[in-house]
Amino acid sequence: MTQSFVYVRFFKETYGGIAIVFALLLPCLVVCLGLAVDYTIWVTQKHELQRIADQAAFAAARELYMANSSGPQTESVAATSASEQMIGAGMLSAADADMMVASATDSFASSGSQSGGGGGGTGAGRSSGSAATPTTFGNGYNLQVKADIENGTVAVVITQAGAAYFSRGVMPPPNIAVTTVARVVGGGRVCVIGLDKVAAETVALNLSAAINADQCGVFSNSTDPSGLAVLVNSRLTAETICSTGGFQGATTNYSTAPLTDCPAVSDPLADRAPPSGGSCDQTDYTISSGSDVLSPGVYCGGIRVEKSASVQFQPGVYVIRGGQMRFGGHAQITGEYVGVYLKGPRSTFMFTPNTSISLTAPKDGPLAGILFFEDRDVPELREYEIRSNDARVLVGTIYLPNGIFMVSARNAVATDSAYTAIVARRIILNQEASLTINSDYHQTDVPVPSGLGDVGIGGSIALVK
């Protein structure tokens, strides 16, 4: 027997042994391959559920930040966001989604999941856990949401049994659970609100205009795609920039990317009662030279300060009825703790370019914190304009619920004010106008009206779990 014949026979016998071993191992290999395929599907399921939970928690936290909403309202926003995403992804029918939203807040308490009150910090990490599924919908989905208003958190938990295509009968499918907690962090402030709900350019900056509000938020309530417009070389700088509709202008015109699906901000002064106005204390007051000291009261026919006149306003409430408050020429205007109520269809204000203006709002009384208050019963879209190149002190809130607040000065306005807030139907800055919106509330005893300034928990939003 030759050596080559021995080798051939040996290898033939080895091939037979390999075939037997392969036949024995084949079922195990098929199971392992099936488990690998199912595992890939589980990872994909988890990734999709995590994405939905993240977006739902973020949407609810944004509602909490922008609208300062209640717990049930915030939870409803989270549940609705998650269900709409699941409908869009073909995970749920509309009927199942409605039932899931209705049960979402109730099921959270029985799930054993965390409420989201902890988890400090501002990181963007997320983790998943094993939450129970007391009520399931569609293909075994369960949604639970919980808002912790005091701590500014919204927790979203979504669970689903893992799909089992190849591993069925070998092992029970895992319970896939994802948890996201979104937290509102930092010191959010609301300083500028354009109230018009439908108009284009509700908040608009044209040519080289600028708003500098780097420590607070600017909001446009308009649903129009151009509800917020910062055009040509204009610049909007703010901690938060938010439009219920869309925005127009290059992204480089904005200090931070505008949010474009924000809930409308409610008029924070809608329930504020205007001051009462009795009979006329003065009629058609006009001064064009010399100086004068004015006392609070009802000024029928308006107030006109012209040419080189100088007027000091004593503290209190001034009701302007049936005429304009107009400062023209080189007039100089000063007043501490002054509130102006503009009553009737002809009562607006105009400050021309060469005037010098320094006014602070009252620290108490019916117009506490409000510098100008427009009559709510006047026609819409009347214009109130600041052209003064020396209006550095305007402390308080300018409230024009039906009017257009316009700035077309060539120098910065309100730069030396501890704080300024604008709530108007529309807000328009033209040419080289620059409006400074400070928020140094501790530097003045003029109060900030409720709903403006620091809005409770306010701040930016981070996913913390």
**Per-residue pLDDT, 130:** 35
Write out the H or E segment, with its range, that includes residue 12.
helix 3-67
> 185, 184, 242: which is closest to 213 by C-alpha?
242
Alpha-carbon distance of 131 to 26, in angstroms, equals 37
Residue 440 CB-density burial (10 A; 0-12 exposed, 13-18 middle, 19+ buried):
exposed
Bridging pattern class, strands 356-360 and 434-436 = unpaired
Q: For residue 342, give both structure tokens.
A: 């503009």
Structure-token pair, residue 235: 């610049």
pLDDT means over runs of 10, the chain (465 residues): 51 57 58 65 86 88 70 87 89 86 67 37 35 61 86 87 64 82 71 96 97 93 97 94 93 91 86 92 97 98 98 98 97 98 96 98 97 97 98 98 97 97 98 95 94 64 68
Query: What pLDDT is recorded for position 209?
Result: 97
Domain ranges of the chain: 13-185, 189-457
- Strands 189-194 and 453-454, bridge-based pairing: antiparallel
pLDDT of residue 123: 32
Q: CA 138 to CA 432: how far, in whole Å?
A: 58
Angle, CA of 174, 153 and 87, to the nearest 5°: 50
Tell me the C-alpha distance between 256 and 238, whole Å. Answer: 7
92/86 Cα distance (integer angstroms): 6
Report pLDDT for 188. 63
* pLDDT tens-digit readout, 238-283: 988 989 899 999 999 999 988 887 778 889 999 999 998 889 999 9
User: 370-374 and 460-463: which strand pairing?
Assistant: unpaired
**Reading across the β-sheet that carries 153-161, which strands appear in turn?**
142-148, 153-161, 175-185, 460-463
The per-residue pLDDT for 122 is: 31
List of residues 6+ apart from 118 with CB closer than 8 A? none
Rounded to two decimals, the pTM is 0.70
Tell me which residue has tokens 């910065």: 412
Evaluate whether 73 touches 63 at the Cβ level (below 8 Å).
yes
Q: In terms of residues, how long is the chain?
A: 465
Tell me the one-letter amino acid at 323. G
Q: What pLDDT, on a 0 to 100 scale, did the predictor assign at position 104?
A: 79
Nearest CA to 313 among 358, 369, 366?
358
Question: Cα separation of 418 and 400, whole Å?
Answer: 21
- Torsion of the alpha carbons at 194, 272, 387 and 430, rounded to the nearest 10: 0
Q: Are 350 and 329 within 8 A, CB to CB?
A: no
Q: What is the pLDDT of residue 115?
A: 36
| CB contact at 8 A, 353 and 326 | no
Average pLDDT across the chain, whole number: 84
Q: What are phi and psi of 78, to 5 degrees?
A: -65, -45
**Cα distances (angstroms) measured from residue 223 to each of 216, 227, 260:** 22, 6, 9
